[in-house]
Structure formats: C-alpha cells, structure tokens
Chains A and B, each alone.
Chain A
Amino acid sequence: EIVLTQSPTTMTASPGEKVTITCRASSSVSYMHWYQQKPGASPKPWIYETSKLASGVPDRFSGSGSGTSYSLTINNMEAEDAATYYCQQWNYPWTFGGGTKLELK
C-alpha cells in the first residue's frame, strides 16, 4: 500500500498570500489527485491527474509533481479557499493523504 504524507498538516494564510501544500508518496505514482472538503460537506474533486483543474475550480489553483513528490499551489489566497485538502493516489489500493487544514489568517 502506498502511504501518502501531506505537509503541513495545518496552516494559516493571509488573503493574497501564496500557499503550497505538499504530498509525498512512499512509492512512485503516475498521477496525484486532490480534493477539497469544507466542514459538514462532502469532498469535492479539485485537481485531477496531477495538474488538471476540476470543473469550477478557480485558476489561482495549480498542481504539479511527479514520482513521489506532488504539490497543490494557490496563488493569491482567498477566504473561500479555507478548507481541508486531501491528496489521493490512483493505484490500487487507493489511498489518501492525511489532509492539510488551511485556515484564513
């Protein structure tokens, strides 16, 4: 089973700040997916196949990476971006990272 480790686990950011969340895999994976979840809501696909934005996701978000290291970046943090973000690798058995809680400063 591939273990995904996200960092940081929690962070705060001010409006307009650049944010980077990292996801490291215990073995190489071909793609990484990312989900956004807000309190009391279901997760939403956010970035898929490493760098493709899901429908409706603002273009201030981007994804990159390869092998065992992937990242989600927000250029110009906005209040609505405060949420928990999870990475997920696409090989069986499917696994998620532990999540990064992003709060607004």
Chain B
Amino acid sequence: EVQLVESGGGLVQPGRSMKLSCAASGFTFNNYDMAWVCQAPKKGLEWVATISYDGSSTYYRDSVKGRFTISRDNAKSTLYLQMDSLRSEDTATYYCASLWGYFDYWGQGVMVTVSS
C-alpha cells in the first residue's frame, strides 16, 4: 500500500522558517518525481514545487522562489520542503504528492499557520 506521511507543520511567526518532511513507502520512491501542493483554508489547490526523481532538477512557483527549497533523500524515501521567510499568505495545508504525469498519490496533508 502506498503511503505518503507528512510531518513538521504547526504555528510559526512571520519571517521564521519551517521544514516539512514526507515519508514515502509502498512504491519505488527513487523512480518518481515528487511535488508539494498547498491549499489555503477554504481555497483551491496550488502547486508549490517539484523535484525530479534523482534530485537533479527542481521547479518552484514564482511566489516561493528564493524562499522555499525542495529536496529529497532517496536512501530514506523522504521528501522535504524547507520554507524560509514565511509570510501570512503561506498559511495552508501542504500535501506531498508523487508525480507520474499527474499527481497520482497524495499524503494526508500537514497544516502550516504563519501568524504572530
């Protein structure tokens, strides 16, 4: 059974940092591109970042470029999202998802609240 389990969310002050993790199991992690997708409260889905299967390529939405860093550890089957200089508008549930043409497996999501 495929599982993606996010962790590391919570309440953080504006301007501070937070690192999310996503532990994967049940599929060959190092064969898949991986992504983070967020959803602000009562809002729609927004793609945040993608990393290629081997970590050699990364892609970001404009609003997080220079602030967020996506990375992976294939030996640990774990995906990460380092979020720096957080803003109130980054408040959302963050999902990790595998990407095989489309976002085919999703985690349960982790809530990040940026507030003073």
Contacts and interface: CB of A to CB of B under 8 A. Distances in A.
Query: Is the pairing of A and B real?
Result: yes
Interface of A: 31, 33, 35, 37, 42-45, 48-49, 54, 86, 88, 90, 92-99
B106 A42 contact: yes
18 contacts: A35-B45, A37-B45, A42-B106, A42-B109, A43-B103, A45-B102, A48-B101, A48-B104, A86-B45, A88-B45, A90-B101, A90-B102, A92-B50, A95-B47, A96-B44, A96-B45, A96-B46, A98-B44
Main secondary structure of the interface of A (DSSP, over half): loop
Contact of A49 (B46, B102, B103): B102
Main secondary structure of the interface of B (DSSP, over half): strand
Sorting the interface of chain B by its residue count into under 10, 10 to 19, 20 to 34 or 35 or more gives 10 to 19
Contacts of A48: 101-102, 104
Given A42-B107, A44-B106, 10 more contacts: A31-B101, A33-B102, A42-B108, A49-B102, A88-B102, A90-B102, A92-B50, A94-B50, A97-B44, A98-B44
